[in-house]
Every structure is written in C-alpha cells, then in structure tokens.
Structure 1
Amino acid sequence: MKAIFRLPFDEKFILIHHHEAARNVASFFPFTKGKAIHLQAENLEVCTSEELKSSFFEVENFPEMNAELNIPQHEEYLQKLEKAIEIIKQNNLPKLVISRPIAKEISSINLEETYQLLCKKYPNTLCYLLISGEEIWIGATPEILGKFNKKTHEFFTMSLAGTLPVNEEWSEKEIEEQKPVTHYISEILKKYVTLSEVKESETYNHISGNIKHLRTDFTAKIEDNRLEELIEELHPTPAVCGIPKEFCKEKIIEIEKYNREFYAGYIKIETEEEIYYFVNLRCAKIYKNQVIAFAGGGITALSSPEKEWRETELKSQAILLHLQ
C-alpha cells in the first residue's frame, strides 16, 4: 500500500510507503462509519517533480469491479432530487446534500500522467493518489476540514459551499446554501476555542478549475488534546451532508442508495509541523475497465433539479476530463 500527496500551492510531493508497526502518518476516513485506511511509516518521504520516479505509480493488477453500483441516469437522479426538495420543505431544512456516482469506461489508464495533470490543473487543491491491494483512489480536493499548527496551536478551517461555472453570477440559492455551513462551523469552533477568539473572514470566491465556490475562512487557537474531538464534531459538515447532521445522513442513505465510501469522508496527513484534514471531494475510484467519479450538490428549497444535475456533471469533469 502506498500514497502520494501534493499539498495546496506546494511544489513538492509527499510519498508514503506503508510499513506495518510504524506510526500513522496518513489516514482515509469514510463519509459515515466504516473501514478506514491508515498508512504507516517511520518518516515522510518528500521529493520534487524531478525526483519523482515512475516506478512509484506502477500497479501490478488493477482492481476488478466486483459488485453492482447503483448509478442513476438523468431522469432517475432528477427524481431523487425532487424527493430531497420535498423532504427539505416538509422538515424546513436549510440544506441537504445529494450525490451520485458517475462511471466512465476505460481501456487503460496512465496513473502517473493523470496524477501529474491534476496537480498542474488544480494547484490550490490537495492532489492525492492512494494505491492499495483492494482499491485505487485519486482526487484533487479544494476543501480543508482543518489545519493545525503543532507549535502555535492555530487551527484553520473553511466554509466552502455553493457552486457555479466561473463565468456565472451568484444567485440567492447559492448564497443561502453557504450561510448554514458558515454558521455551523462558527458555532462549533466557539465551543473549542480557549486560547483566542474565532476570527472569520469575509465571504469570497474560491476558483477550482472550471467552477467556483463561496468560501469563508476561520482561524482560532485550540488545545492539541481537543483536536480530534473537534474534527469528529465538524465532520461531516453541512457542505457534504446537511443540517441537522444525523437526520440528513439518514435521508442521504435513503435517497442515494449507494455507499459513498471515502467520497465526502476526510483525509488526514501529519507532517513534522502541521496536521492537515481534507474533505475528500473531486475524487474517483479506479478499476481495471472503468473509473467511478463522485459528485454532489447542496440542495435547498430553491434548488432546480436540472441545474443540480449539471452541477454534478461539472464537478465530475474535474477528474474524468483528465484521465490519461
């Protein structure tokens, strides 16, 4: 088992070759309860693009698709969204996040070229590739669940929600979709801050390839012994789930009818100075003859099912358009 990571705006790569009995240096956690993958190593191997060897990307056997996955087509997905809107209205929910898997048939794939292209196209994301005996995941996620500085105890997180093509103007729907995410994060942070107050930025545009999001940043100082507790309370945020959390998780399972696995879960990476937590978005699972990308959107009472379908199409292109 091995993994490679390129942190946002970084030119270097972190390589991990899993060794049993060493310390956990990176982990993949699922959206809901389920199997996590922990990568163990004595130290992180850091290298430049020139030092990166092609042999790292070699895979002896690509996984076979051994189970049927419920992949909704256009009309079926619109029906799921109509049901979500009905639930939102009946229960006065501010937001419910519905997603779908999107399949693309392939005859072959070059993991190194695909990964390098994602790094080039999306410099402000965590670009990763996970290769294990049972599964291969790749992604370029723009959303930070948390970043903790071990020396200063400063914690950073963001509210990232609302999605449009870069050239379109924000509407009331996207603005109202992002507000509950911001409020949710702010209220949780206030419970954990003991060393300073919570600082909240203005809301601004976050560009990620062909789409943009509304983003608000938060910084605060917290005690290191409460970090994992804070992350567990933040996850899943309304950006990938909805409010209230437990009710929305139940409705997601009921409507989607598929296992999100690591999509909308989170990835933890620990370096010497910092601990990073990234929401696993813009990701895909790679099989021998096909790639399954995952994409979703925040549904509100103002949502247009057809527009939400197009949003998932745009988001899935982040990976599917760059397969090599």
Structure 2
Amino acid sequence: MVTKQKAVLEQELLDDYRVGDFFIETPKRTILGKGVFLQVPSEEDCENQLVSLPKKVASTLKKAKEQGHPHPIVTGAVPFDSYKKACLHIPNSVHFAPSYQHEERGQVSSTPIAVDKLISVPAPEQYMEGVAQGIKRIRSGELDKIVISRSLELSLTESVNIPQLLRNLAYQNKRGYTFATNIEFEEQVKTLIGASPELLVLRQGMQAIANPLAGSRPRSKDPIEDQRRAEELLSSPKDLHEHAVVVETVANALRPFLKNMEVPEKPSLVTTETMWHLSTVIKGELLDAEVSSLDLAVALQPTPAVCGAPTEKARQAISEIEPFDRGFFTGMVGWCDADGDGEWVVTIRCAEANGQSLRLFAGAGVVGESKPEEELAETGAKFQTMLRAMGVNTEQFKDI
C-alpha cells in the first residue's frame, strides 16, 4: 500500500509540471515548485556571484518568512562561470513527495522529435584539436587535468514538448537526478532540463555527503562487453588517476566545514543507461550548524570533474580552448531551505530548450594519457542520455 501511495504522489508532481516550474527528482525525494514568490538578487556580471550568493539566499529566505511564506525554499540553477548571474528564486508553492525511482515506471513516449538540422560546436575535428591542446598543457606541467566539452545545436521541425521530455528523462533515469528549471541566458528565457548522475553535495541536518564522479566508459548492449568495460574502467591507471585528482580536491574543499570525514581509498562503479562512472561517496558531520548546503556547494563549485586542476588555470584554459559559452552546463542545480538543508547537483547530461531549439552539452576529463579520439567518443556517448529521451534518430547526422 505504501509503495502505491509513493508512486501516485510522485506521478502527480510529474504530471503537474508545467514549463516555468522547478522540478527535481533525486534518490531521496521529488520536489515541484510553482510560481515566483521572491527572486534572489544578482550582482552585475563584473562581480564574482558565488562570493555573496549564500548570504543573498539566506537573506531572501528570511524575507520570505517575514512576508508570510509558510515553507520557503530557494530553487534554481547557478552557471559554470562564477561571474555570470545565477537564476534562483523562492516558489509560491512547493510540493514534496518521496522518490519514485525504484518503482515500476510507465513507458517512455515513442513519439520522436524531428530534427531539421544538427550542428556540433565545435566540429568533431576541432574538438579533438582542443583535447590535444589540453594534453599539451598537462604534459608541460601547467595543468593536472582539464575538462573539454562540446555542444550540439538542434533545430527542430516543431516546438519541443518539455513536460514529455522531462517525463521521458525521469522514466529512463532510474537513479540520479532529473531536473527542469527556468534560466535566463543570452537575454532569453529557456528551460534547463536534464538527468545528471552526479551529486555535488547534500546537507541534511548535521550530515553532509558529496559524490564526485570522474572516469567513464560508454555502456554496451552486449552484457559481456558491458561487464568487460566496467572492469576495465575500475582498473584503468588513466581513469583512476583522473578520479583521484577530483576526490582529493573535493575532500580538501570540504575539510574546513566537516569533521569525522569518510573518504574511501578506492572508487566504486555507478551506472546510468548510457555510461559507467568511477564514483566516491564522501561523508562528514558539519562543524557549524550555520553552514548551509549552498555554502558547501559554493566551496566545491566547480570541481575538477567538470573543470580541471588547478581550478583557476583550468578555467582559463577552457575559456581559451572551447569556442562557446557553457552557460549553466557544468554549473549546479538544486535547492536550499531556511534550515540550510538542501541538495545541489552538477548540471551535466542536460540541454537548454527554447521553442524549436535545443542545445545539448557533453564534456570529457583530459589527463596526460588521454587520446583525443577516445574523448570524442565519450562525449558522443554522453549525448545519448538526452537524445534517447527525445527519441532522436541520429543516424542521418555525422557530427555526433
């Protein structure tokens, strides 16, 4: 009986979603926020937004309580570039339900999205050149790791059905974090939608959890080959090194805030519908009850899993190598309440949707042993999360 109630509650929230709402489903809960009670203010682009963001969020939550909001939480997204404006707000109404991920789902819609034109930015050859530049900088000693990404720009024959796309992602994504939220990018209001496998940080009471992922392999439809790829990833010196760089940086960033930290010596494997990932779950207890989930997220953003190491040098190299603005890709999406509890997710396996346009993103971690053609194949596999949910047949396109 309890299982049935859980399924109905979550399904109702998913069915209730409309474009412009905030939606997130995690392994622990489902949240739907409707309307805008208060907007979290932003500075001009010349200011580092992350420095003052936790205080602005705390102030906005306090103001909402004073104005009579019964249960204010801040929801929304923060971009990769800390000098760009975040899109955070307190919804008028917020509805919670248990997660439905482990229950039997409905069927993904079989109605495909018709693509008129698909453009890879950069083109595959240029992307591999960018990876080669990253490898050169690593071998020269300038960097330990860098994440090089690319995008797919899709022109559709009709407007994308965002609620159906969200439902498809939720039904496909049996673990991880499915989300949709409004963003403002390049003076346009768009929907940021996706199914991320990676938790940046969870704060619940005095407990905090981070779950960095780094090191990946595409899944195979052949069970034997799929298992071989998983075992290869778990023993790959290149991927284990890449993962260790990320875990060390995340653990060091959390140490000023946590005690009794647990950092496993070796990673484990997690899987999505399309990828295997190396995963490490880091846990600890807060030293100070005043530290919110957003405080922790800001201390971690961006991790080497989506940027590189050292962070600032990698970020600068990304701006020189990548020929596009990441926007909210590799930023974070999530929520924080007035008690400081909340969840923030790394914004990957995602797209910006606006009318008949979709922009998808994927990146790959580059270290000294990386090979450009393998990183290109990895990004192509990561695109499949969104493409499958849209029912896009990509055989007619060569740029994936």
Between the aligned partners of 2:172 and 2:348, the Cα distance in structure 1 is 15
Secondary structure of the residue aligned to 2:345 is strand
Between the aligned partners of 2:176 and 2:36, the Cα distance in structure 1 is 23
Identity of aligned residues (%): 25
Task: Find the partner of 1:188 among 236, 253, 261.
Answer: 253
Alpha carbons of structure 1 residues 250 and 49: separation in structure 2 relative to 1, 3 Å = closer
TM-score by structure 1 length? 0.86
After superposition, residues 114-133 of structure 1 pair within 5 angstroms as 114-131=165-182
Does structure 2 retain, via aligned residues, the 8 Å contact 1:104–1:320? no
Q: Does 1:144 align with 2:162?
A: no
Amino acid at match of 2:261: V
Task: Find the partner of 2:35 among 2, 9, 17.
Answer: 17
Post-superposition offset of 1:92? 5.0
Match of 1:62 in 2: none
Match of 2:267 in 1: 203
Match of 2:382 in 1: 315
Secondary structure of the residue aligned to 1:75 is helix
Cα offsets for 1:251-309 (capped at 9, x unmatched): 00000021111000011313587311111110101132231110001001100100100
Post-superposition offset of 1:19? 2.4
Consecutive unaligned residues of structure 2, counting only runs of 5 or more, are: 1-19, 40-63, 65-71, 101-118, 220-225, 392-400
Cα offsets for 1:166-214 (capped at 9, x unmatched): 3212122211110101111122222222xx3111234100101111100
Task: Find the partner of 1:2 among 7, 10, 21.
Answer: 21
After superposition, residues 166-185 of structure 1 pair within 5 angstroms as 166=219, 167=226, 168=229, 169-170=232-233, 171-185=236-250
Amino acid at match of 1:309: L
Task: Find the partner of 1:251 among 314, 317, 328.
Answer: 317
Question: Structure 1 stretches (4+) deviating beyond 6 angstroms?
Answer: none
Between the aligned partners of 1:212 and 1:319, the Cα distance in structure 2 is 16
Amino acid at match of 2:207: E
Between the aligned partners of 2:332 and 2:135, the Cα distance in structure 1 is 26
Aligned residues: 301
Does structure 2 retain, via aligned residues, the 8 Å contact 1:70–1:258? no
Q: CA RMSD in A?
A: 2.3
Match of 1:59 in 2: none
Worse-matched range after superposition: 300-309 or 168-177? 168-177
Alpha carbons of structure 1 residues 49 and 199: separation in structure 2 relative to 1, 3 Å = closer
Does structure 2 retain, via aligned residues, the 8 Å contact 1:264–1:280? yes
Amino acid at match of 1:146: V
Post-superposition offset of 1:315? 0.6
Between the aligned partners of 2:337 and 2:388, the Cα distance in structure 1 is 31
Between the aligned partners of 2:279 and 2:90, the Cα distance in structure 1 is 33
Match of 2:276 in 1: 212
Alpha carbons of structure 1 residues 190 and 295: separation in structure 2 relative to 1, 3 Å = same
Task: Find the partner of 2:157 among 93, 96, 107.
Answer: 107
Post-superposition offset of 1:125? 1.6
Alpha carbons of structure 1 residues 40 and 99: separation in structure 2 relative to 1, 3 Å = same
Greater C-alpha Rg:
2
Secondary structure of the residue aligned to 1:302 is coil
Post-superposition offset of 1:93? 2.6
Secondary structure of the residue aligned to 1:76 is helix
Amino acid at match of 2:35: H
Does structure 2 retain, via aligned residues, the 8 Å contact 1:13–1:49? no
Alpha carbons of structure 1 residues 47 and 154: separation in structure 2 relative to 1, 3 Å = closer
Cα offsets for 1:68-100 (capped at 9, x unmatched): x98111111111111111111112532111111
Secondary structure of the residue aligned to 1:295 is strand
Does structure 2 retain, via aligned residues, the 8 Å contact 1:95–1:298? yes
Match of 2:367 in 1: 300
Alpha carbons of structure 1 residues 48 and 277: separation in structure 2 relative to 1, 3 Å = closer
Worse-matched range after superposition: 183-192 or 140-149? 183-192
Does structure 1 retain, via aligned residues, the 8 Å contact 2:26–2:99? no
Cα offsets for 1:95-115 (capped at 9, x unmatched): 111111112332232222211
Between the aligned partners of 1:161 and 1:49, the Cα distance in structure 2 is 25
After superposition, residues 69-84 of structure 1 pair within 5 angstroms as 71-84=121-134
